[in-house]
Amino acid sequence: MGKDLEEIFFGKYSSEECDDKKGGDRVVKAITTGVFHVPVDNQVPDSNDIINIYFKNPSSKVLTAKFLVEFSPPGVPAGVQNPEISSPSIGYWTVKVLPHHSLVIVVTGPSSPPAFGTWRFSFWGDIDRKEKKNKLSVEVIAGRIFGGGPDLAFNNAGATFPHALFVDAEIEVNGPAIPVPVGGIISVS
């Protein structure tokens, strides 16, 4: 496979990352929302049904985002340790965004309503904390689904993370890259 085709299928790698095809544990430089809580309701009686991840590619080439979704279920009493669920459980998600296109990925959890709980989203790949014309922009928003979705009728201001609010992070990554499922819906369970 030629170098150009490898970059399209497997993305470019920074010096902090090992080759995605090998899997393996490593620490990568990423940007993250940090931990945030999505409440049951955002505007009574509307519940927070979904979390949308919006990607925008302003460049003239295919760009790749790699990301982890971390979730802790609600309902655990104060002072009690709460287990974390990573999605995917081994590895990380990867998605390619076409030049001059945007893409939405829908995330739901196991709670009722599906976005209720504590979350953290971390991104790396062709993405940077500062928005650049040759990098992806990302936004994470929780809210009430509109019609059949994935558009939101209402968003929750406390669970809205435009690109400018992301912070730098180093995260531990293990396992292989896993493409986002066809249809763009990730169910954390």
What is the 8-class DSSP label of residue 20?
A: G
- Consecutive H or E run containing 10: helix 3-10
Q: In this structure, is residue 79 part of a structural domain?
A: yes
Q: In this structure, is residue 13 part of a structural domain?
A: no
Q: In this structure, is residue 54 part of a structural domain?
A: yes
pLDDT tens for each residue of the chain, 189 residues long: 344 433 443 344 332 333 444 556 789 999 999 998 888 776 666 777 888 999 999 999 999 999 999 998 888 888 998 888 889 998 999 999 999 999 999 998 887 777 888 899 999 999 998 888 899 999 999 887 777 777 777 666 677 889 999 999 999 998 999 999 999 999 898
Total domains in the chain come to 1
What is the 8-class DSSP label of residue 163?
A: G
Q: In this structure, is residue 10 part of a structural domain?
A: no
Q: In this structure, is residue 3 part of a structural domain?
A: no
Q: In this structure, is residue 175 part of a structural domain?
A: yes
Coil vs helix vs strand at 94: strand
Q: In this structure, is residue 93 part of a structural domain?
A: yes
Q: In this structure, is residue 17 part of a structural domain?
A: no
**Cα 36 to Cα 40: distance, rounded to the nearest angstrom:** 13
**Cα 182 to Cα 119: distance, rounded to the nearest angstrom:** 23
**Where in the sequence is the domain holding 46, given as residue range(s)?**
25-187
